[in-house]
Amino acid sequence: MLEASPISTTPDLEEVVLLCPLGRPIGTAAKSRIHTDRTPLHSAFSIFLFNQDGDMLVQQRAWSKQTWPGIWSNACCGHPLPGEALEAAAHRRLHDELGLTNVRLHLALPKFRYRATFLGIVENEICPVFIGQCDGTPELNPDEVAAVDWVNWGAFVHAAQTRSASHFAHFSPWSRLEAKELAASDILLHLFQDL
């Protein structure tokens, strides 16, 4: 497991794109202010990265994060900026959180949507899911990521599908839901052929 070094960055002043129930943009709001007990529907994305052995990169979210602090999740998540293409946003966050560049991504679940609550804070997102291959060593941004590790994909999916008492049961709800949908499709069978 790799842990973050004590390097600090400037606070996150991003805006997120607010969406209507059909997924169309209806405005923007400060990311730091929308995550409440009544979080409006907004645009996001999620990234699953795998190494050559088929293991999945997971991260522990920084303890200073407003939403889901200290919770383990998939490799990276984020929000596209107003006017920013989704894949460009995904690459921006991979670099900002994990120091990763030149990762080839494939949009695997373009219509994924979820709502979840933790410690009174609601996540309410239309959150397309990317997959990619990564064999490099992440350089962690401690404002975003506390630690990373590689885990067995099959064990993670089994835990997500059964809600088993394994340590994977304590992962973010979106990572478990996304893993179930990825496992139910054949998209990962082609990961290493297409990337």
Catalytic residues, which ones? 77, 125
Q: Are residues 36 and 19 in contact, defined by beta-carbon separation less than 8 angstroms?
A: no
Residues in the chain: 195
Q: Are residues 73 and 66 in contact, defined by beta-carbon separation less than 8 angstroms?
A: no
Q: Which long-range contacts (CB under 8 A, 24 or more apart) does 108-112 make?
A: 108/48, 108/182, 108/185, 108/187, 108/188, 109/178, 109/181, 109/182, 109/185, 109/187, 112/46, 112/177, 112/178, 112/181
